[in-house]
Chain A
Amino acid sequence: MNDKMKRKVDLEKVINKYKAEKGGIISVLQEINREYGYLSEDALKLVAKKLDVPLIQVYSIATFYTAFSLKPRGRHLINVCLGTACFVKGGNRILEKLERELGIKAGETTKELRYSLDTVHCIGCCSLAPVIRIDEDAYGRLKQEKVPEILKKHK
């Protein structure tokens, strides 16, 4: 079985897992997005077919919620918190620094697919503002000049 086929089998497994659940379509998309890092056109089509819902509906869900991506994402996901506390303490300065360091804007992915840069409205670490999260690790009380060394930890 080649890689592509294997993926398809896995996708069907995911779909079947939630098929019987009322309103399970969001769970299906969440799991696919988690596994593959994004929702490919093929995946959306397969979900539509297997769950017997119009493709436009799957697409509208996939584009409404910010957790879903329609493009491949980088190996490391950087989330800059722009909640109120982080904002008051200069979170946007940290974002600008990251944008300069990585040469991309928020919402984009670096060419070599290493980093994706996103913003998030509050991860609930307000007492440590300003905060960023790279994959599972949160870094609090940040200053612009600390950004390069933190990036080095996630290569």
Chain B
Amino acid sequence: MKIKNLKDLEELKIKGLESLYPKRTKINVGLGTCGIATGARAVFDSIADEIEKQGIDALVGKTGCLGFCQREPLVDVWQPGKSRIIYCQMDPEKARDLVTGLAQGKTRKEWALCRMEEEEFIIENTKKKYSIKEKDGKDIPLYREIPFYRKQKKIALRNCGFMNPENIEEYIARGGYFSLARVLSRLKEEEVIEEIKNSGLRGRGGAGFPTGLKWKFCRDARGEPKYIICNADEGDPGAYMDRSILEGDPHSVLEGMVIGAYAIGSHEGYIYVRNEYPLAAQSVERAIRQAEEYGLLGENIFNSGFNFRIRISQGAGAFVCGEETALLASIEGKIGEPRPRPPFPAERGLWDKPTNINNVKTWANVPVIIARGADWYSKMGTAKSKGTMVFSLVGKINNTGLVEVPMGIKLREMIYDIGEGIPEGKKFKAVQTGGPSGGCIPSELADLEVDYEKLTQAGSMMGSGGMVVMDEDTCMVNVAKYFLNFTKDESCGKCTPCREGIKRMLEILDDISKGKAKETDLELLETLARVVKDASLCALGGTAPNPVLTTLRYFRNEYEAHIKDKKCPAHICPDLIHYSIDKEKCTGCGLCLKECPQTAISGEKKKPHSIDKSKCIKCGVCFEVCNFDAVEID
């Protein structure tokens, strides 16, 4: 059916609510890429199977990712009249038990992550309270109270994990497409731009340019047609929130894009999806088809006379295509080489026409800002960074996952409150933000309030929101080397400072990690870093030295230890470490001997073993498999 007016939308909303909150039990399984990687498909199948086998009156549904990836597979159980319970770390066997228990009215508290008694509908500014008759599972903590979720404020992630991304009616039920309806029926183009400008929303792809201003530039630019692009080439290693939004809530991005297109005066758009995200591309493709069927995309949207089409352009594996001018070249069917700006894409973009490019999260924020207003949005955050930001909290941290928090949150809160600290009682050393363009912030700066400006002042950057936590076992020279290796591989090769400069810097780092460097090499490294930063053509080269510069700034002593003492304090760099076996601790179980690929370990059964250092290739497998901490590194 084609939706023509608000009444049509309201009707679909009722249908969507029935689907979200049916009059019988509904079991939802999180089937994002991260869920699937932990076996969520098998969990889904076993639930469906058991329901059928036992003839239980229940539905099984799919949702996107709830963000707490550490505890996947997540299963959430809706039962009318009861608290909603989210179960974690499920497997097919547990899932079958769960279904059997539900049929008998039992709750498996031991597997529960949390329970919900209400849900926030952020667009409508309401709390949907469940009508709970049976007080059940009282000792299960509430969703709002568990450390991982307590400080979160979900705007861009508002629907992820709470609805079926394949069902447009469920999106509508949660307030979706109402902002678009309002924009097309009541707001002038300039009013939309004004609202976004006043909200203070800045580009969530990393650079943080004010979104409303960007839209205005494109609207005012001469030339037809104008293009709208969603940059979903999420390439920063350690960041995956765009993937999660596209998989779990694709319509929020589409709705944002149509609103932007109307404001700018564009009738054609592209979503450029990263090659490594096949599931996200499928999800968006399905959403586009549905939106077209319902008259929310395509010709005469909402019967308003406004037309807008969206096409998908799939990347072919090139990190540099996240840079906007390289992305444009790629859509045009060329190799993804950036070009100098100005002219900016707002003036001369895709096929030399005015083009507006925003990141996935930026688009997903738009419908909420329209619904709740610029004032509400700009009350969150810091002086210059408004609203919320989605971070992927990963690495050496207890709670890993996607976290959406108001700008200005302290690093300390991210790591110790939301992330609940470092595993195995290790010491927190640094957090890396901004991917290969960012830097490492040391533990001394844990009170840093995270926003665009503060991160830049610390030598790092916001980037697309990756936050990789590092502990005392992480070697900072090795980290710098890792990122330079990455940018060396991904440099397109067009400009010399980036192509050659990064290689030379990497050679120095390599020497340092092998204990072959001289003290003067650090100065040379810093000089080279500044040249690459200043002279590169695009942001890839311009920011590539950041990981080196920040580690030099905060962890210079670690570099010096490699150079002067020929030691790697974190025991990582293979050329500067040796493995040995503690004769007191070794029980002679033979496990390391069996796993050693070099037959470097010898010893009789039940007697202490030893490592032949001349044969050892330092693969570390003995250290990993030893159950008695008998393998030592020095």
Contacts and interface: CB of A to CB of B under 8 A. Distances in A.
> B-side binding surface: helix, strand, loop or mixed?
mixed
A121 B69 contact: no
Contacts of B394: 84-85, 126-127, 129
Interface in A115-137: 120-129, 131
Contact of A83 (B34, B237, B333, B396): B237
B474 interface: yes
A154 to B, nearest CB: 15
Nearest to A29: B316
A124 B238 CA distance: 7
A30 interface: yes
Given A24-B333, A85-B468, A123 B276 contact: yes
Interface in B335-394: 335-336, 351, 392, 394
A122 B474 CA distance: 19
B617 to A, nearest CB: 8
Contacts of A82: 237
B37 A84 contact: no
B486 A121 contact: yes
B275 interface: yes
A128 B332 contact: no
A3 interface: no
A125 B335 contact: no
A70 interface: no
A26 B396 contact: no
B38 A67 contact: no
Interface in B535-564: none
B619 interface: yes
A29 B276 CA distance: 16
Interface in B386-416: 392, 394-396, 400-401
A66 interface: yes
Contacts of B234: 124
B420 to A, nearest CB: 14
B34 A84 contact: no
A16 interface: no
Interface in B464-513: 466, 468, 470, 474, 479, 482-483, 486, 489-490, 492
Given A27-B314, A93-B620, A121 B319 contact: yes
A117 B300 CA distance: 49
A22 B332 contact: yes
Interface string B610-633: 000000000111001100000000
B237 A128 contact: no
B624 A84 contact: no
B325 interface: no
Contact of B595 (A30, A87, A90, A145): A145
A124 B240 contact: yes
B335 A60 contact: yes
B336 A127 contact: no
A14 interface: no
Contact of B276 (A23, A124, A126): A124
A96 B394 CA distance: 23
A87 B318 contact: no
Contacts of A27: 314
Nearest to B238: A84
A89 B69 CA distance: 16
Interface string B309-345: 0000111111100000000001111111000000000
Interface residues of B, number: 61
Given A84-B435, A126-B400, A100 B317 contact: no
A88 B474 contact: yes
B198 interface: no
Given A121-B235, A128-B69, A145-B624, A65 B317 contact: yes
Contacts of B102: none
B243 interface: yes
Interface string B26-40: 000000011011100
A25 interface: yes
Contact of B34 (A23, A60, A93, A124): A124
A58 to B, nearest CB: 10
B597 interface: yes
Contacts of A127: 34, 69-70, 72, 394, 400-401
Contacts of A100: 597, 619
Nearest to B547: A84
A140 interface: yes
Interface in A52-102: 60-61, 64-68, 82-90, 93, 96-97, 100
B34 A122 contact: no
B248 to A, nearest CB: 12
B238 A123 contact: no
Given A84-B435, A121-B486, A122-B276, A140 B316 contact: no
B240 A140 contact: no
Contacts of A124: 33-34, 234, 239-240, 243-244, 276-277
B118 interface: no
A114 interface: no
B56 to A, nearest CB: 30
Contact of A144 (B396, B490, B624): B624
A143 B623 CA distance: 11
A61 to B, nearest CB: 6
A137 B142 CA distance: 34
Contacts of B159: none
22 contacts: A22-B332, A23-B331, A26-B316, A30-B316, A64-B336, A65-B275, A66-B316, A66-B318, A86-B237, A88-B396, A88-B470, A97-B597, A122-B239, A122-B240, A123-B33, A124-B244, A125-B69, A126-B240, A129-B395, A138-B33, A144-B624, A145-B624
Interface of B: 33-34, 36-38, 69-70, 72, 234-240, 243-244, 275-277, 313-319, 330-336, 351, 392, 394-396, 400-401, 432, 435, 466, 468, 470, 474, 479, 482-483, 486, 489-490, 492, 595, 597, 619-621, 624-625
Give the 7 A-B CB pairs with smallest separation, nearest first.
A124-B240, A83-B237, A23-B333, A127-B69, A65-B316, A66-B317, A84-B238
Given A65-B317, A127-B70, 5 more contacts: A25-B333, A86-B237, A88-B468, A124-B234, A124-B277
